Amino acid sequence: MIDDPRAPLAGILKLVLKSTPAIANDILKPGMDEGAYPRTPVAAAHELNKMFKDTIRLLPRITAPVRVFRSTVDHVVSDTSVAALRRGLTNAPLTLTTLENSYHVATLDNDAEEIFQGSADFIRAVVAGTAAAQVQEGTAHE
């Protein structure tokens, strides 16, 4: 979710303001660079805001397990995004893993290995659970 108070005005602002300085390199690990553009198009921020609204509306349709990695210090995305997931994922289990040693761009930060390993473990567990459920239901395919 976009917490910036200007976000709801992006549809109008894009007509008079082409871009704003980018939010980039929210990374705790020294020497890392995410390679972000120097500016963010206001029209893109407007589209992102519209996409978030659609996504929140559609969250109850998700039935697959969801895993979220969230830095305890994130200068870009606030906790409102996690709260929106908790409210919206009414038909799917949500697993939240907090990252203590990274900022927003956590896959380039100190907790990157935890994210990569945790994601692989999560996918294996979901796939194994799906396969076990199919065997119990008699619908497994070889």
The predicted model scores a pTM of: 0.83
Domain range summary for the chain, segments of one domain joined by +: 7-137
- Topology, domain 7-137: Rossmann fold (3.40.50)
Which whole-number Å values give the CA distances from 49 to 10, 22, 45, 53, 87, in the listed order?
8, 16, 6, 7, 18
CB 65 within 8 A of CB 130: no
Q: What is the pLDDT of residues 21-55, one digit of tens each?
A: 988 999 999 999 999 999 999 999 999 989 999 99
Distances (CA, A) of 54 to 1, 47, 64, 67, 84: 11, 11, 18, 20, 12
pLDDT, tens only, 65-85: 999 999 999 999 999 999 999
- Evaluated on CA atoms 123, 124, 130, 133, the torsion sign reads negative
